[in-house]
A and B are shown apart, each in its own frame.
Chain A
């Protein structure tokens, strides 16, 4: 994979002739990590694919406005998070009209998803994670699945380290309580 320094990439963004090439490099560099962040939130591969596409399309639209005030990875991650929240809210609204909970629907879909290979315990863990509010779920995923440092999560989400620690702590407690009832 062609790895380019962030500064060089930002310079390429400002040049209209090189913008497209820079964007291709951006997609190559960040699509995988963004995909996993989104996938753990929306669970389904197809939905993650849609949200990831929207993330990159939105970033392409706003590329000329990117001034390099934050890291490209942070900027992309925030777009991805916003797109994920937008997707989840839309799905929630759609399910509200059918008097069903999005979380239940997502878990049901996960059971029959060919792109999910987890056993019963893994499925129960997903059920427990789904009981968390969106932001807490995001923090939990970043810490539990990716073992990210609180400092890095703080930079990505713009939340203080203390608040993140508290959020993760409460998330673990909630999941434990849920699983103790289920298992």
Chain B
């Protein structure tokens, strides 16, 4: 078996100074890769921060929604209350106005006439005098 002997690799050639060039090329490629890694790390950090913010927004979203709903509810309740108080005050005002007799519109009754003609002082005086007389 003449060919099965510890062989040499002289049948394979390679360019001159290949290993020196290889080292230099590899160094260049490593430099480029390291730079790329640094820049991608920066980008990754920004992305991670954005992701964290998004995550916190997502986890807190129900709470935020509930808070917003609560504020909206309070606002609408206060608005309704304001409106209703306005309505009642205006209706009260209206009713008060309607109850107060105005000089122009109301017709004086007999009672009114008596009260107006006697007056508060006159009645007390009347009673006091009548007590003394007794």
A170 within 8 A of B: no
B8 and chain A: residue at smallest CB distance: A145
Question: How far is the CB of B4 from the nearest CB of chain A, in Å?
Answer: 6
Number of A-B pairs whose CB atoms are under 8 Å?
72
A124 and chain B: residue at smallest CB distance: B3
0 or 1 for each of B12-27: is its CB under 8 Å from A? (1 = yes): 1111001100110111
A56 to B30, CA, bound (A): 10
Q: Which bucket holds chain B's interface residue count?
A: 20 to 34
A140 to B113, CA, bound (A): 138
Question: How far is the CB of B8 from the nearest CB of chain A, in Å?
Answer: 7
B52 within 8 A of A: no
A118 and B19 in contact (CB under 8 A), knowing A144-B6, A145-B6? Answer: no
A27 and B4 in contact (CB under 8 A), knowing A117-B10, A118-B11, A145-B9? Answer: no
6 pairs from A and B in contact (CB 8 Å cutoff): A31-B23, A45-B15, A57-B26, A57-B30, A125-B3, A179-B3
By a beta-carbon cutoff of 8 Å, the part of chain B in contact with chain A is 1, 3-4, 6-15, 18-19, 22-23, 25-27, 29-30, 33
